[in-house]
Amino acid sequence: MKRSTAGRALLIALAIGGAASAARAASPEWEAPAISHKDVRPYFDDVAIKGLVLPPPPAEGSLADADDVAAVMRGQQVDAARRAVAEEDGAWLYDRFAEAFGRPIRRDSAPALVALLNRVERQVSGPVFAAKKDHGRTRPYQRLQLSHVCGEVKAPAPDPDAKKRTSYPSGHSAYGWAAALILARLAPERAPAILQRAMDYGESRVICGMHFPSDVAAARVVATAVVARLDRSPEFLADLEQVRQELARAEQGR
């Protein structure tokens, strides 16, 4: 899928399945993607970010909507290797950034880092789910007949009247972008690779038929706003310093 150089540069500037999955699930090397948000305390009350107002998604039939649909259909044509990456991206989160970050992101070796990321993801979930409820956008696979949908053996038939409409913004993309912003701060020398991984992670949601590109773009706006607000939290800044110390100790032990 093609991206404009300007679009990629802007997003970076804002920041300055089967056998493999089973093996990962059985191994302590990998973190499961699911975060039980109810068991994780955010850094600040969601009301502190209520001022974030996303524009509505493109109206069906508009030129912007046509661009969204065209991008989804192009995503259906990617090769098997890229589709496999998209499937894995849909099933996992932190480990999908480990290579770009340069070290594993798991509880046994980096507990402070994982705890911080979990709290950041919980923080992002509030405005994401509020926006999903406000906008109620139909997902691509609910609206279009696709040939591939991640997690499905056979792509389902369209269901434009589906009651659950949660396409805008993309939760996966918001979590991935927020994690990337934190990881890029912790490893600035690896920031380009980390942010590129986050771009690809969001693109995977389009390839999967789960989201339109505008859902992914809106997710990055939410994540960027939340992470910026976190800089006003003394607790977050203290946790971030603990993570830096944890990573420094791990580096000395290599």
What residues contact 61, with CB distance under 8 A and at least 6 apart? Answer: none
Which listed residue (135, 137, 190, 211) is catalytic? 211
Identified catalytic residue from 122, 148, 172, 197: 172
CB-based contact 200:85 (threshold 8 Å):
yes
- Per DSSP, the residues of the chain read ----HHHHHHHHHHH---HHHHHHHT-TTS--S---GGGS--SS-GGGGTT--PPPPPPTTSHHHHHHHHHHHHHTT--HHHHHHHHHHHH-SGGGGHHHHTS---TTT-HHHHHHHHHHHHHHHHHHHHHHHHH-PPPHHHHS--S--TT-SSPPPP-TT-S----SS-HHHHHHHHHHHHHHHH-GGGHHHHHHHHHHHHHHHHHTTS--HHHHHHHHHHHHHHHHHHTT-HHHHHHHHHHHHHHHHHHHT-
Residue 53, sorted as left (phi over 0), alpha (psi -120 to 50) or beta, turns out to be beta
Catalytic (active site) residue 148: no
Task: Confirm whether 215 is a catalytic residue.
Answer: yes
Active-site residue (options: 190, 205, 220, 229): 205
Q: Is 172 a catalytic residue?
A: yes
* Residue in the block written with tokens 């972008």: 177
Amino acid at 81: A
Residue 83 annotated in active site: no
From 215, 220, 229, 239, the catalytic residue: 215
Active-site amino acid positions: 172, 205, 211, 215
